[in-house]
Amino acid sequence: MVYGEHEFAGKLFVVEGTDGSGKSTQLGLLYQWLKAEGYPVFFSEWNSSPLVREITKRAKKRTLFTPTTFSLLHATDFADRTERDIIPPLKAGAIVLADRYIYTAFARDVVRGCDPEWVRKIYRFAVKPTVRFFFRAPLEVAIERILIGRPELKYYEAGMDMGLSDDPEESFKLFQGRILDEYDKMVPEFGLTVIDASRSIIQQQHQMRRIILPHLKDMK
């Protein structure tokens, strides 16, 4: 399925991966580098729209979500951010960096039981990214990073709504494993650019820069 081909002057670079893959760290470093080089850069983060933030927070606290309502609320968040935070900078010729994009929904929502074709149709309005990075970390490495930094796993974060295990840590491992499987399927489907997230931070960052440099010509 082909998403929104566009003729905007700007460029859209997105990062994807399981929790603990290090993608957010790499995107932050890329942002700093692009700013230092004089490029106009904007940032957009998954599930950050003020339009649905409070609703999402309350529903999570009361564990009210079904797979479908979870999916639709995230789609609403994404639609609002696309209209407000992504398309305007692209039209203005700027660079937009997105920490998670539609592929997060394609992985998580499908793992939770939503129909893959249905989820993909919901996001037909999405702008096609210039480059789609997938930071692939070995599952045990990614999980260790998260568990070290989290005193307690949240209900939906751990995938407890799926009934995989009564133990949050075990549920989290099973949940993330299934998400990783979905990402692997999307590599050929959407042309995701795979970054080996087990390499050093410096090596990963250098690879990202090499990949995006050809797309930055005449942007300053």
Give residue-wise pLDDT tens across range 45-100.
Answer: 998 888 888 888 887 888 878 999 999 999 999 999 999 999 999 999 999 999 99
- Residue among 19, 49, 12, 9 at smallest CA distance from 172: 19
| Options 3.40.50.300, 2.40.40.20, 3.40.50.410, 3.90.1200.10; CATH of 11-215 | 3.40.50.300
Query: What is the value of pTM for the model shown?
Result: 0.92
∠152-47-186 over CA atoms, to 5°? Answer: 95
Domain locations along the chain = 11-215
pLDDT digits (tens, 9 = 90+) for 109-164: 999 999 999 999 999 999 999 999 999 999 898 888 888 877 788 899 989 999 99
